[in-house]
Structure 1
Amino acid sequence: MRLSFNKQRNNRRFNYTPRYYKGKEETNPYAFENTFERYRDMPNKNDFGAHWREARNMSRNRGNKGLSPLLLMIIGLLVLAALYVLDFDLSIF
């Protein structure tokens, strides 16, 4: 076994939920499905890590990927301020 002293070890993820905890959302009791399939994608209500991971994934794939008018106005003002500071002369055009 090789030991590496400069490498940090990764913590194991521990997500304990008691057997009869009602934190998970209930589905149709008459549905014939596997118990593991039902709880695979549904995080606990007290599992903040899973909720944070889901929120990060949703914010990465936003629908408003275009440039907003406010952002374009701010960029334009910054460009004009930089040109003013550098004494750019528009008469050369």
Structure 2
Amino acid sequence: MRINFFKQRTNRRFNYTPRFYKGKKDDTPYDFDSTFSKYRDMSNSNDFGTQWQAARRDSRNRSNRGFSRLFLIVLATLILIALYILDFDLSIFKS
């Protein structure tokens, strides 16, 4: 298990709907699962915010994490090019 000390965990979202509301899709009426777990992760058919968040969360993968490294390389290159064009003298850092 990987532990990350800097990232806060996301709270579980409990999406309340009345018991006999037909907007939620039930898999089987004979399922003996907990009522809270059944309604915690499932979203309503009319709750677009939760569906959008789930789609964004599912579309993320490990390859997207390399963006920050690439961004830093491009940024450093652009800074060096700008310093070269402005004819910045690095000898001021030497004593």
Give the alignment's TM-score, normalised by structure 1: 0.46
Larger Rg: 1
Identify, as 1 or 2, the structure richer in helix: 2
Give the alignment's TM-score, normalised by structure 2: 0.46
